[in-house]
Chains A and B, each alone.
Chain A
Amino acid sequence: MKFYLEVWRQKGPDGAGKLEHYEANDIPAEASFLEMLDIVNEDLTKKGIEPIQFDSDCREGICGNCSLTINGVPHGPGRGTTCQLYMRKFRDGQIITIEPFRADSFPVERDLVVNREAYDRIMQAGGFISERAGSAPDANSVPIPKVVADQAMDAAACIGCGACAAACPNGSAMLFVSAKVTHLGLLPQGKPENDRRVLKMVRQADKEGFGNCSNYYACEAVCPAGIPASVIAHLNRNFSFASIKESIGITV
């Protein structure tokens, strides 16, 4: 297959970037999108053009490292990460525009590489259960109904890629924050810190410059882990309760 690529090239975090045209020739239909870029990069190197810098690691859809916006959509067409996107999904001869994830809180470092440390800082603000190794009771001492465990698992499947914020017109990280708050908040082990966690994570997200949710559901549409937007309702409910408690002086 053959493709005409428009690729975002940017020298460094401060430089202005622009789209460059490249041709992708002799691409097998079974190749993944990233393998297509590998082939293009080998070709560019041979021609003396610096290869396109892009992040990827596991290449099986779980590490959340790839950060490409393809034809305007984070991770491109279909549901899944870019590494799980196969070229057979495109038309032969198609023009494909490749940009990095676009969100103010994810500054571009070079070409298609963005900085997503903001997500780490949100997790550090409260995305955990305070528990010391060695202090845990027997694993079966607290039964958790299967439906609850399953719901927690649905939310816990988030891979932290950042597509939700990149897709959101408000640059909101609500789906990411809500997924973690829902995962930990549903489980009995996560309840004691629930209020604290919700307040701290939401406030950190604000501090990082992520916007608020206004129900576009673009996040849900691009989420490779299938996190449902309903987790945002869970977050809002918990955030309201926690805020009220805090405002009337109940320590959270």
Chain B
Amino acid sequence: MTLDSKIPAGPLDKKWTSFKNTAKLVNPANKRKFEIIVVGSGLAGASAAATLAEQGYRVKCFCYQDSPRRAHSIAAQGGINAAKNYQNDGDSVYRLFYDTIKGGDFRAREANVHRLAEVSNLIIDQCVAQGVPFAREYGGLLDNRSFGGAQVSRTFYARGQTGQQLLLGAYAALSHQIALGNVTMHSKTEMMDLVVVDGHAKGIVVRDMTTGEISSHAGDAVLLCTGGYGNVFYLSTNARGCNVTATYRAYKRGALFANPCYTQIHPTCIPVSGEYQSKLTLMSESLRNDGRVWVPKKKEDCGKEPKDIPEDARDYYLERKYPSYGNLAPRDISSRSAKEVCDDGRGVGPGGLGVYLDFADAIKRLGKHVIEERYGNLFEMYHNITGEDAYERPMRIYPAVHYTMGGLWVDYNLMSSVQGLHVLGEANFSDHGANRLGASALMQGLADGYFVIPYTLGQYMASQFGKKVDANAPAFAEAVESVKARVNKLMSINGTRTVDSFHRELGKLLWDKCGMARDKQGLEEALRKIPKLREEFWSNLKILGSKDGINMELERAGRVADFLEFGELMCLDALNRNESCGGHFRTEYQTPDGEALRDDANYDYVAAWKYEGEGKPPTLIKEPLVYEEVKLATRSYK
């Protein structure tokens, strides 16, 4: 099997334009005949569902939350990038493109990233028109802030709630289309399987989380906008419900899973405080604009109050190691540096797993009120969780799993290797390479939904006239039966361990062996342990209650069962990639000063994994990354 990424010919900056000029169109009367299934209602899902409905398609949208407005995009804090160059500081589409490619450690597809940079400006226009209350200057024009991995200020924001405001914008557009009858919304409905008929994705199997009913829905195309798999680590900044099930089920039905080992560890989270903890809380990276990261130079000082540690006894390690980017070094580098100083015994706070993020200088320079205006809600949140006042005492932060760059493989049209199955937002692999820059997730989710899929979906739909699938096709019944059998099996194990106990154990194993730093030995160990844990799960899980009706343990069990298989794929991918790049850091492959050491000669490809059946190892299919415009370089932020 070879992968055709369907990248249009021509110079990089003309590809998207020439694609649009020649893309297949579906006329309005025909659009009405097509039913599009959209799974997920976050930035990618809501914007895609709303926009396709605006265009005339009939849309069915599904989400597991009780309202589409609660999808996890809502929690993004910092901002959204765009190449507007409103600051007159030298930004351009090309620079946003280049920063994103470089930030991704040269492991992303050039054409996709350039398109992302091109449509970024439209997103800001679109959101303002929808009523997103972005931050403004006194003159009434939009304000920007700077973010990690860039030397220009191109990030638009709405206080510390940018994701919330963008999602509410997309949710409003979606609500409008629901009211018009163009979208049928199915909340509290979880996708359990994909239905593939003659090689085409033509439906999904869902479980109604209120009644427990399992049923199928047929459609002419399926869009998965189901987010990332960070919760495989149990502790992450993701919402409790975030899961890999939709994409993993699609993988088992033939879609390729690309680069599962590319996971992002966010440098600024509130440190773990105990075993009971259910999630980690992110503090927006924007804090690094004004905060300075440091630890004591000497181990002996770690127990002291930070104010008692004099300036010359502090190690501002990011400023020291990366003088030109300083505290705004990209996420992977900042996270790893924090791990290094903590491994060195210089971490602060409980367990020595924390570093200081200090605002004293910024408060002195700008005044407390400015800091309060910029980050007030974050300081409040920190105070609420830790009981500490960050205006008086530096924050303690530590890296946590935050985002996953890997995802289902898609071509330029955002279509997976299964015909008709499209994948948008964090759920696909395409734009961030091995590391995502801050404020780029919101950009990608909305780009895919508002401005990419509305143009690329026609490529597939134009081939589907008169090919309406029969909802009684055996594939539907087969998929429904297999989901029912699985639910029954989970309910009948009747063992002694709770779902969460398995999830915590898997998460810890992956964090230790496939987290911020990985090595061959550890990955092999994880690959030995995961199947054993999975086996125990299927023989010793305890779920009480009934499958008919609300049963949150059953919901979680289904997701954890998939994580227990997916975790293995992640380790396998990490083991295969004998290099370090972006969020994937193999300790065997580093430069003498501890930076990631890429191996472009052997690993400059997308690793796409094909499912080969129960108990069989997946096959690796490589999509070589061809760089026409960019010269591969060692990523330097010094």
Binding site for B on A (CB under 8 A): 12, 28, 30-32, 34-35, 38-39, 42, 45-46, 48-51, 53, 55-65, 80, 84, 86, 88, 109-111, 113, 115-117, 119-120, 123-125, 127-140, 142-146, 149-150, 152-153, 156-157, 159-160, 183-184, 187, 189-190
B134 x A149 contact (CB < 8 A): yes
Whole-angstrom CA separation of A106 from B439 in the bound complex = 36
B279, A59: Cβ atoms closer than 8 Å: yes
B546 nearest CB across to chain A (Å): 9
The count of A-to-B residue pairs whose CB atoms sit within 8 angstroms is 216
Q: How far is the CA of A136 from the CA of B446 in the complex (A)?
A: 15
* Besides A42-B501, A123-B172, A133-B54, 11 other A-B contacts (C-beta < 8 A): A28-B276, A32-B278, A34-B278, A38-B500, A65-B65, A128-B173, A135-B129, A139-B142, A149-B135, A153-B133, A183-B131
Cβ–Cβ contact A86 & B500, under 8 A:
no
Tell me which of A46, A86, A133, A135 contacts B385 (CB under 8 A).
A86
Q: How far is the CA of A127 from the CA of B365 in the complex (A)?
A: 42
Contact A131 B239 (CB under 8 A): no
Contact B138 A123 (CB under 8 A): no
Q: B125 to A63, Cβ gap below 8 A?
A: no
A133 and B454: CB pair below 8 A? Answer: yes
- Could you tell me the distance in whole angstroms from the C-beta of A185 to the nearest C-beta in chain B? 10
Chain B residue numbers with a CB within 8 Å of A109 are 210, 550
Q: Across the interface, name the chain B residue whose C-beta is closest to A115.
A: B66
Is B621 positioned at the interface, with any CB of A under 8 Å from its CB?
Answer: no
- Report yes or no: A50 in contact with B545, Cβ–Cβ below 8 A: yes
Chain A residues near B450 (CB, 8 Å)? Answer: 133-134
- State which of B174-182, B248-256, B560-568, B608-616 sits at the interface with chain A: B174-182
- Which segment of B156-164, B216-224, B458-466 sits at the interface? B156-164
Cβ contact within 8 Å between A136 and B74:
no
- Chain B residue at minimum C-beta to C-beta distance from A63: B70
Given contacts A63-B75, A120-B175, contact A57 B141 (CB under 8 A): no
Q: Are the C-beta atoms of A136 and B126 separated by less than 8 Å?
A: yes
- Can you show 13 pairs from A to B with CB atoms below 8 A apart? A38-B278, A42-B501, A57-B65, A62-B164, A63-B74, A116-B67, A117-B67, A120-B185, A133-B47, A156-B133, A156-B168, A157-B159, A183-B133
Judge whether B498 is part of the interface by a CB distance below 8 angstroms. yes
Q: Can you name the residue of chain B whose Cβ is closest to the Cβ of A128?
A: B172
In the complex, whether B544 has a CB less than 8 A from a CB of chain A is yes
Within 8 A of A (CB), among B121-158: 122, 124-131, 133-142, 158
Chain B positions within 8 Å of A137 at CB level: 125, 129
Report Cα–Cα, A138/B161, bound state, in Å.
22
Q: A88-B387, A120-B175 are in contact. Are A139 and B84 (CB under 8 A)?
A: yes
Residue numbers in B under 8 Å from A133 (CB-CB): 47, 50-51, 54, 126, 173, 450-451, 454
Rounded to whole angstroms, the CA-CA distance of A206 and B438 in the bound complex is 43
Contacts of B187 in A (CB 8 A): 117, 120
A127–B172 CA distance with the chains assembled, in angstroms: 6
Q: Which residues of the other chain, A, contact B451 by a CB distance below 8 angstroms? A: 133-134
The smallest C-beta distance from B258 to any residue of chain A, in angstroms, reads 27
Q: Who on chain A is nearest to B373 by CB? A: A150
Across the two chains, which residue of chain A brings its CB closest to B48? A133
A146 touches B178 (CB 8 A): no
Choose one: B50, B51, B125, B165; the contact of A139 (CB below 8 Å).
B125
Which of B134, B237, B542 is within 8 Å of A45, CB to CB? B542
Bound-state Cα–Cα, A98 to B134, Å: 38
Quick one: which of B268-288 are within 8 Å of A by CB? 273-274, 276-279, 281-282
Contact assessment for B498 and A140 in the assembled complex, using a CB-CB cutoff below 8 Å: no
Question: Is the CB–CB distance between B552 and A57 below 8 Å?
Answer: no
Q: A146 and B500: CB pair below 8 A?
A: no
A189 touches B130 (CB 8 A): yes
Would you call B315 an interface residue if the criterion is a C-beta within 8 Å of the partner chain's C-beta atoms?
no
* B241 interfacial contact with A, CB 8 Å: yes
* B 63-74 binary contact with A (CB < 8 Å = 1; else 0): 001111110101
- A42-B500, A130-B176 given; A61·B381 CB < 8 A: yes
B319 close to chain A: CB less than 8 A: no
Decide if A58 touches B74 in the complex (CB within 8 Å): yes
B381 touches A84 (CB 8 A): yes
Chain B minimum-CB-distance residue to A226:
B377
Query: A45-B544, A60-B281, A133-B47 are contacts. A157–B161 as well, Cβ < 8 Å?
Result: yes
Residues of A within 8 A of B519 (CB): none
Contact A125 B179 (CB under 8 A): yes
- Contact A46/B141 with A109-B210, A109-B550 known, Cβ cut-off 8 Å: no
Contact: B278 with A59, CB < 8 Å?
yes
**How many angstroms from the CA of A65 to the CA of B84 in the assembled complex?**
35
* Chain A residues with CB below 8 A from B179, complex form: 124-125
Which chain A residue shows the least CB distance to B171?
Answer: A123
Assess whether B86 is interfacial by the CB under 8 Å rule: yes
Question: Is residue B240 contacting chain A, with contact meaning CB distance below 8 A?
Answer: yes
Q: Which of B47, B122, B129, B240 is within 8 Å of A57, CB to CB?
A: B240
Which A residues lie within 8 Å of B454 (CB)? 133-134
Task: Give CA–CA (A136, B125) in the complex, Å.
Answer: 6
Residue of A nearest to B496 (CB): A46
Tell me whether B67 and A57 are in contact (CB under 8 A): no
Report the minimum CB–CB distance from B210 to chain A (whole Å): 6
* Alpha-carbon separation in the docked complex, A137 to B161 (Å): 24
Say whether B22 faces chain A, with CB atoms less than 8 Å apart.
no
**Residue on A nearest B500 in the bound complex, by CB:** A42
Q: Is B2 an interface residue (CB 8 A)?
A: no
Kindly provide the distance from the CB of A153 to the nearest chain B CB, expressed in whole angstroms: 4
Task: Specify which chain A residues have a CB less than 8 angstroms from the CB of B134 in the assembled complex.
Answer: 139, 149
* Complex-state Cα separation, A143 to B84, whole angstroms: 16
